């Protein structure tokens, strides 16, 4: 469903305190409270990515919190969003989901204030999260600058790995390893990108790397060049794609980007498809000046974000676009 098409003719009353609305498809909305302090709000929920209810709760909570971190904010409060079947699932199973979500909220220093539950045939869980951000620390997806370097802080390929497990093509051990990584908060990456004054940021989630990069390019009116050989990914993800594993959202992600992305000759179809694989609780996609990029990367590695890599660069372009090339990025 194309929500942008649905809401395109809906206008809301203007408000001078809206700092970031939905016009650029950013990760969260930002509302000015004072000259230096802003409210950041977001909501997200997902279907299960693993049979372990506690770990699923942790992943879902981390996924919801990620939008606040992508905006440069700090989460304060949250509300549970629960779509639970009325029969067929043990109540203790549902309680474990909520317990996992609460543990991740506690880890983030946020407070659970309540929530809302509806009956649904398909189980879903997530959070509505409220945070704060200083005006000088807000990160948008619309402010990437030509000459910036692009950093990605987590591996991609979660979608096909989770789906591969449902098809019996991948082990429980690998899926658990991937889900533990999904459950890792983007708090450190967020704090460091603010400290090193990144130009722009977003997180990589259901739209996949290509579409989220396209949102940044389009909103910032720039070109983005990504280096296929530098993209951090789970090795098993390429194996799953090669075996024909494909998420339902992959095609819609490809259609959303359309001909605004160009792959250099020689990049395999399997690697190309990885760019559109929908992610859950993915890393931050950070645009930062060339002068500060290496310092940010070193700080990320030193503070435990070991998977972070420089994956591309921003360049001036009359028409926003994405280029995916082979080779290595030049320092």
- CATH number for the domain spanning 207: value is 3.90.650.10
pLDDT at 329 > cutoff 90: no
With contact defined as beta carbons under 8 Å apart, do 21 and 7 qualify? no
CA–CA distances in Å: residue 222 to residues 56, 142, 225, 292, 317: 37, 9, 10, 20, 5
The tens digit of pLDDT for each residue in 262-287 reads 999 999 999 999 999 999 999 999 99
Say whether both 171 and 303 belong to one domain: yes
Say whether both 113 and 162 belong to one domain: no
What is the predicted pLDDT for the residue at 161? 98
Say whether both 292 and 171 belong to one domain: yes
Query: What does residue 287 show for φ and ψ, rounded to 5 degrees?
Result: -105, 125
| Band (331; pLDDT cuts 50, 70, 90) | low
Secondary structure letter of residue 100 according to DSSP? H
Say whether both 85 and 169 belong to one domain: no
- Residue in the structure block whose two tokens are 């890792």: 184
Task: Compute how many other C-beta atoms are within 10 angstroms of the C-beta atom of residue 300.
Answer: 24
Say whether both 132 and 272 belong to one domain: no
Say whether both 78 and 173 belong to one domain: no
Q: Flag whether 144 is in a domain.
A: no
Q: Flag whether 331 is in a domain.
A: no
Say whether both 181 and 257 belong to one domain: yes
Q: State which of 86, 116, 137 marks the end of a domain.
A: 137
What is the distance between the alpha carbons of residues 224 and 286, in angstroms, rounded to a whole number?
12
Say whether both 197 and 272 belong to one domain: yes
What is the distance between the alpha carbons of residues 188 and 63, in angstroms, rounded to a whole number?
15
Q: Flag whether 32 is in a domain.
A: yes
Q: Flag whether 143 is in a domain.
A: no
Say whether both 71 and 186 belong to one domain: no
Q: How many domains does the chain have?
A: 2
With contact defined as beta carbons under 8 Å apart, do 178 and 279 qualify? no
Say whether both 318 and 220 belong to one domain: yes
Q: Which residues neighbour 262 within 8 Å (Cβ) at sequence distance 6 or greater?
A: 321, 322, 323, 324
Q: Which domain holds residue 158?
A: 149-325
Helix (H/G/I), strand (E/B), else coil: 132:
strand
Q: Flag whether 171 is in a domain.
A: yes
Q: State which of 137, 172, 191 marks the end of a domain.
A: 137
Say whether both 100 and 162 belong to one domain: no
Q: Flag whether 142 is in a domain.
A: no
CA–CA distances in Å: residue 218 to residues 222, 311, 322, 325: 7, 18, 10, 19
Q: Flag whether 72 is in a domain.
A: yes
Q: Flag whether 48 is in a domain.
A: yes
Q: State which of 137, 171, 202 marks the end of a domain.
A: 137
Task: Compute how many other C-beta atoms are within 10 angstroms of the C-beta atom of residue 315.
Answer: 15
> Angle at Cα 48 formed by Cα 79 and Cα 80, nearest 5°?
5
The tens digit of pLDDT for each residue in 129-155 reads 999 999 999 999 999 999 999 999 999
The tens digit of pLDDT for each residue in 62-116 reads 999 999 999 999 999 999 999 999 888 889 999 999 999 999 999 999 999 999 9
What is the distance between the alpha carbons of residues 12 and 132, in angstroms, rounded to a whole number?
23
What is the distance between the alpha carbons of residues 199 and 29, in angstroms, rounded to a whole number?
18
The tens digit of pLDDT for each residue in 21-61 reads 888 788 899 999 999 999 999 999 999 999 999 999 999 99
With contact defined as beta carbons under 8 Å apart, do 280 and 49 qualify? yes
Percent of the chain with pLDDT over 70: 98
Say whether both 125 and 268 belong to one domain: no
Mean pLDDT of 241-263: 96
The tens digit of pLDDT for each residue in 162-184 reads 999 999 999 999 999 999 999 99
């Amino acid at each position: 469903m194309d929500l942008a098409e649905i809401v395109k003719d809906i206008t809301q009353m203007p408000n001078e305190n809206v700092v970031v609305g939905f016009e650029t498809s950013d990760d969260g909305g930002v509302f000015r409270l004072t000259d230096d302090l802003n409210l950041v709000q977001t909501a997200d929920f997902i279907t299960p990515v693993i049979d372990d209810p506690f770990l699923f709760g942790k992943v879902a909570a981390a996924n919801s919190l990620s939008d606040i971190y992508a905006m440069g904010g700090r989460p304060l409060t949250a509300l549970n969003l629960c779509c639970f079947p009325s029969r067929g699932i043990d109540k203790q199973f549902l309680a474990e989901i909520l317990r996992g979500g609460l543990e991740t909220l506690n880890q983030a220093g946020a407070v659970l204030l309540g929530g809302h539950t509806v009956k649904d045939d398909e189980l879903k869980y997530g959070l509505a999260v409220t945070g704060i951000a200083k005006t000088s620390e807000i990160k948008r997806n619309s402010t990437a600058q030509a000459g910036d370097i692009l950093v990605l802080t987590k591996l991609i390929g979660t979608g096909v790995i989770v789906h591969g497990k449902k098809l019996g093509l991948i082990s429980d051990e690998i899926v658990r390893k991937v889900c533990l990584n999904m459950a890792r908060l983007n708090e450190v990456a967020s704090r460091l990108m603010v400290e090193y004054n990144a130009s722009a940021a977003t997180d990589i989630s259901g739209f996949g790397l290509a579409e989220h990069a396209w949102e940044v390019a389009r909103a910032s009116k720039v070109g983005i060049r990504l280096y296929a050989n530098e993209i951090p990914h789970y090795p098993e993800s390429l194996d799953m794609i090669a075996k024909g594993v494909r998420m339902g959202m992959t095609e819609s992600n490809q259609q959303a980007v359309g001909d605004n992305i160009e792959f250099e000759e020689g990049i395999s179809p399997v690697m190309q498809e990885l760019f559109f694989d929908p992610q859950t609780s993915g890393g931050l996609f950070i645009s930062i000046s060339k002068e500060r990029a290496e310092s940010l990367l070193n700080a990320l590695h030193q503070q435990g974000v070991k998977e972070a890599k420089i994956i591309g660069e921003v360049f001036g372009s009359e028409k926003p676009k994405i280029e995916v090339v082979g080779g290595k990025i030049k320092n």
